[in-house]
């Protein structure tokens, strides 16, 4: 039986007038944030597929967008990260075309270094365990929730090859230059051996909290095609560290490093569990990194068996994303096509075609939020206590036959359009 033909996008967003650089679903899959290279941000209400906000947020292009605790975070080429108030309901769709709306209220801002076009990465932390006395105090203050915490990884202000770690919501830098490694003795100048201690600019950062080991992982993709994995114990997060000032050892330990590409990392993603990483570059390779094996087993720091590559048919790939359950990988190419692969076997699963030029950004929707979600999981605060529960959109299939939202994929590219795709359930077969 022949395979079904790939679906066209079920929705195209045309509010942007510059190439797209970032797309992001909020945790409840009710809003889609998109940002372009002129610094404009659009917010799409996915229930009615209408734009509810569109404004110029940065003087430079948008590098990254994410929602945390109900509020949007935007990272721009103007060397600043903005933190916004949550979007207020009811959502009011824009009328007419080509206009802008009132910007979201900026709560805080953080200066950053964007020389290397590298966006921030964020991971939520588990709520700290309470002592019996603290529990009694909590019982006295009913309805008052503990403040959520997170870690924010950004390129260092001092050196674009290094990474700093900030604490949220305090915006306090807790660890500086975490990937600064001791330099081995340099080879003689007349030896002809190149200095391999420098990896070039940091191109992509991914920080993840590892539930199984109570650790935090940081994976970094570099300009020379190299990837490094660092691990930090959760109890070490509160310790201030700066290699120029601290007498304590670096809490971030280099666990593994390897080079899967000969050119710069153009796109990188790590699954939500921090088990596998994926990279693409100007070459034709899709490379998978078994970070879970690095953490579980004692292996050499340069063990190349951690990497497995697949030769795609397309030379020149610019974006990669893994879906929420870690089973599906999407690769965006310079030719405007999106190629889908099995995360386990690299089996090609189809090609999505709508964009006419380079794909710059990809984002999968999130899994449905469970009612018994632990503290580490965060639901969007945009949808709490405002609408009647009977109107909760929990249908498996929309009225127009579109697959459930956890199987949605958003893509944006040079053609200034955002495409929304509804994918089949590959786990159930064809």
pLDDT (tens digit, 0 to 9) for every residue of the chain, 430 residues total? 455 677 899 999 999 999 999 999 999 999 999 999 999 999 999 999 999 999 999 999 999 999 999 999 999 999 999 999 999 888 888 876 667 889 999 999 999 999 889 999 999 999 875 444 444 554 444 444 567 999 999 999 989 999 999 999 999 999 999 999 876 555 555 544 444 455 689 999 999 999 999 999 999 999 999 999 999 999 999 889 999 888 899 999 999 999 999 999 999 999 999 999 999 999 999 999 999 999 999 899 999 999 999 999 889 999 999 999 999 999 999 999 999 999 999 999 999 999 999 999 999 999 987 644 444 444 443 443 333 433 444 444 454 678 899 999 999 999 999 999 999 988 765 4
Which pLDDT does position 198 carry in this prediction? 58
Q: Is residue 302 domain-resident?
A: yes
Which pLDDT does position 113 carry in this prediction? 92
Domain that holds residue 258: 11-127+147-180+198-428
Q: Is residue 141 domain-resident?
A: no
Q: Is residue 36 domain-resident?
A: yes
Q: Is residue 132 domain-resident?
A: no
Query: What's the CATH code of the domain at 232?
Result: 2.130.10.10
Q: Is residue 6 domain-resident?
A: no
Which pLDDT does position 130 carry in this prediction? 43
Which pLDDT does position 402 carry in this prediction? 87
Which pLDDT does position 397 carry in this prediction? 46
3-state secondary structure the chain: CCCCCCCCCCEEECCCCCCEEEEEECCCCCEEEEEECCCEEEEEECCCCEEEEEEECCCCCEEEEEEECCEEEEEECCCEEEEECCCCCCCCCCCCCCCCCCCCCEEEEEECCCCCCCCCEEEECCCCCCCHHHHHHHHHCCCCCCCCCEEEEEECCCCCCCEEEEEECCCEEEECCCCCCCCCCCCCCCCCCCCCCCCCCEEEEEEEEECCCCEEEEEEEECCCEEEEEEEEHHHCCCCECCCCCCCCCCCEEEEEEECCCCCCCEEEECCCCCEEEEECCCCEEEEEEHHHHHHCCCCCCCHHHEEEEECCCCCEEEEEECCCCCEEEEEECCCEEEEEECCCCCEEEEEECCCCCEEEEEECCCCCCCCCCCCCCCCHHHCCCCCHHHCCCCCCCCCCCCCHHHEEEEEECCCCEEEEECCCHHHCC
Q: Is residue 250 domain-resident?
A: yes
Q: Is residue 418 domain-resident?
A: yes
This prediction's pTM:
0.87
Task: Indicate the number of domains in the chain.
Answer: 1
Q: Is residue 188 domain-resident?
A: no
């Amino acid at each position: 039986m022949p395979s079904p033909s790939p679906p066209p996008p079920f929705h195209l967003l045309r509010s942007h007038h510059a190439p797209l650089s970032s797309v992001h679903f909020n945790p409840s899959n009710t809003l889609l944030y998109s940002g372009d290279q002129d610094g404009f941000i659009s917010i799409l209400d996915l229930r009615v597929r209408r734009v509810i906000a569109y404004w110029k947020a940065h003087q430079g292009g948008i590098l990254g967008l994410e929602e945390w605790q109900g509020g949007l975070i935007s990272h721009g080429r103007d060397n600043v990260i903005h933190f916004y108030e949550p979007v207020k309901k009811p959502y009011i769709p824009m009328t007419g075309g080509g206009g802008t709306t009132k910007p979201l209220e900026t709560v805080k801002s953080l200066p950053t270094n964007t020389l290397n076009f590298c966006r921030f990465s964020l991971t939520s932390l588990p709520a700290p365990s309470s002592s019996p006395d603290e529990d009694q105090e909590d019982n006295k203050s009913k309805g008052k929730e503990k403040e959520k915490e997170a870690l924010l990884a950004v390129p260092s202000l001092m050196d674009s090859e290094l990474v700093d770690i900030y604490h949220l919501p305090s915006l306090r830098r807790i660890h500086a230059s975490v990937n600064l490694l001791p330099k081995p003795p340099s080879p003689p100048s007349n030896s002809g051996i190149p200095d391999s201690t420098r990896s070039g600019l940091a191109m992509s950062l991914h920080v993840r909290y590892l539930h199984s080991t109570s650790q935090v992982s940081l994976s970094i993709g570099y300009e020379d095609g190299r990837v490094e994995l660092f691990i930090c114990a959760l109890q070490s997060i509160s310790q201030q560290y700066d290699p120029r000032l601290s007498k304590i050892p670096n809490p971030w330990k280099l666990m593994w490093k390897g080079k899967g590409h000969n050119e710069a990392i153009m796109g990188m993603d790590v699954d939500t569990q921090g088990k596998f990483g994926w990279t693409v570059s100007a070459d034709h390779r899709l490379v998978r990194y078994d970070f879970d094996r690095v953490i579980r087993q004692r292996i050499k720091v340069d063990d190349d068996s951690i990497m497995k590559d697949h030769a795609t048919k397309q030379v020149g790939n610019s974006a990669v994303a893994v879906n929420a359950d870690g089973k599906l990988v999407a690769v965006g190419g310079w030719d405007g096509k999106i190629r889908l692969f099995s995360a386990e076997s690299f089996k090609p699963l189809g090609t999505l075609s709508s964009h006419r030029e380079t794909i710059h950004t990809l984002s999968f929707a999130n899994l449905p939020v469970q009612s018994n979600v632990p503290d580490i999981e965060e639901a969007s605060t945009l949808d709490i206590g405002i609408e009647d529960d009977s109107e909760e959109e929990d249908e498996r299939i929309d009225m127009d036959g579109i697959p459930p939202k956890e199987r949605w994929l958003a893509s944006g590219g040079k053609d200034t359009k955002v495409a929304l795709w509804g994918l089949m359930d590959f786990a159930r077969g064809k």
